[in-house]
Amino acid sequence: MLPAHATIKGDSTKPHFGTLLKAAIRSGLPYPVFLTPMTHPQQRILVIRAGALGDLVMCGPAFAAIRAAHPGAEIALMTRAPFADFARAMPWFDRVIVDTHPGAWQWRGWARLIRAIREFGPDRVYDLQGKRRQSILYALLGGRRFGPAWSGAARGCAFPRVWPPQPGMHFMDFLAAQLKVAGVGPAPRVDFGWMDAPPEALSKFALPPEYVVLVPGCTPKAMYKRWPPEKYADFANRLQARGVPCVAVGAASDGDAVAAIRKTAPHVVDLSGRTDLFELAGILRGASCVVGNDTGPVHMAGAAGVPTLAVLSGRTDPVWSRPPGDRVVWRQAVELAALSVDEVWFAMVLLLQHTKNKG
């Protein structure tokens, strides 16, 4: 995700449409078929957001706004396979189309994806991803002349997004500005209760009545986002000394970070790789506080209204991509190894005091 001040090397809004179309035709996408106008008695809307988890959570207000603007429409979300079940539980969509993410020249994959979209038959597309591959998709669906009305980054589309983002703009405000161009008003207040697994589904974890959740992992492609495990361990030991247990969550790939914490804080409960996204949301909602890196579960916690403390590296712009919610604070250092346990500890104390005072 780009911060508000970022620039792009190579304008993703300007693919070579002629080249793409000619290559598509040569590779088996018949021109008359994929440019056949799409019609259906009921309005159909396609929303595109591939992922990742935190981005999907931050898209919640935009999703809700689209649903409010098209109350009688059938609306589909196109997203990546790991998030398909999560998306099916969202209250704003009637169906989910799985984006198989074909490579740039994998035209058989593109053909299958185009076929799935055309079978749905959208009248309008809200592209909330805005990358080059979505511009390719716009071209293959017929562009402005033959395809559905398009909101996004594709060159020449009916409702171009505002670009570049304005200084001081959060990602969710950026999406709202894009939707405004297409006539979609502000989102109603979003309830994220749909994320949670029922309480009986959480009983297998034997959670204590009070606990703090640690989120010490992140995508392996961005290890700079990780606060060192030894600092999480020190933090957890301080909580344990005050009678507050810690639960560590994350994907299976985060198990190494949790294992490193447990070397000096063996009391930390390790649930990494043991939850689905709905169980994860329920565990987060039951926490007294969530402390973690710039990753999906931290965004889920903020959206759910849980007191949330994000630890951010200097490469993250908190103005652009801080977790959503009014009970969210963050602490930041150019390199996270320099962020002290004391600073994070006192930030948590102040956050909990503030939350308590506000009731």
Domain co-membership, 73 together with 186: yes
What pLDDT does 39 receive? 57
For residue 328, tell me if it sits in a domain: yes
Q: Can you give the pLDDT at residue 37?
A: 47
Of the candidate ranges 33-37, 53-57, 335-339, the one whose mean pLDDT is the lowest: 33-37
- On whether the pTM is more than 0.75, the answer is yes
Residue at which a domain ends, from 169, 190, 211? 190
Is residue 216 reached through a cis peptide bond, with omega within 30 degrees of 0 on the bond before it? Answer: no
pLDDT at 31: 44
Same domain, 167 and 247: no
What are the Cα distances from residue 354, in Å, to 103, 328, 350, 351?
A: 48, 11, 6, 5
Summarised one tens digit per residue, pLDDT across range 190-241 is: 999 999 999 899 999 999 999 999 999 998 899 999 999 999 999 999 999 9
Residue 324 binned pLDDT confidence (cut-offs 50, 70, 90)? very high
Domain end: 171, 190, 209, which one? 190
Residue 359: its pLDDT value, please?
67
Q: Which of 284, 218, 35 is nearest to 140 (CA)?
A: 35
What is the pLDDT at residue 23? 52
Q: Please give the mean pLDDT across all residues of the chain.
A: 89
- Check whether residue 201 and residue 312 sit in a common domain: yes
pLDDT tens profile 267-320: 999 999 999 999 999 999 999 999 999 999 999 999 999 999 999 999 999 999
Concatenating the DSSP letter of every residue in 6-47 gives ---SS-TT---HHHHHHHHHHTT--HHHHTSPP--SS-EEEE
Q: Which amino acid is at 272?
A: S
> Which residues are CB-contacts of 359 (< 8 A; sequence separation ≥ 6)?
none
Q: Where are the alpha helices (DSSP H) in the chain?
A: 17-26, 31-34, 53-58, 60-69, 84-88, 107-120, 132-140, 143-146, 171-181, 199-202, 229-241, 255-262, 277-285, 296-303, 318-321, 341-358
Q: Residue 86 has what DSSP assignment?
A: H
Asked if 46 contacts 148 with a C-beta cutoff of 8 angstroms, the reply is yes
Per-residue model confidence as pLDDT tens digits over 172-191: 999 999 999 999 999 878 99
pLDDT by residue (tens digit) across 64-99?
A: 999 999 999 999 999 999 999 999 999 999 999 999
User: Domain range for residue 238?
Assistant: 197-358
Q: Do 143 and 206 belong to one domain? A: no
201 with 129, same domain? Answer: no
Identity at 150, one-letter amino acid code = W
Cross-strand partners of 215: 292
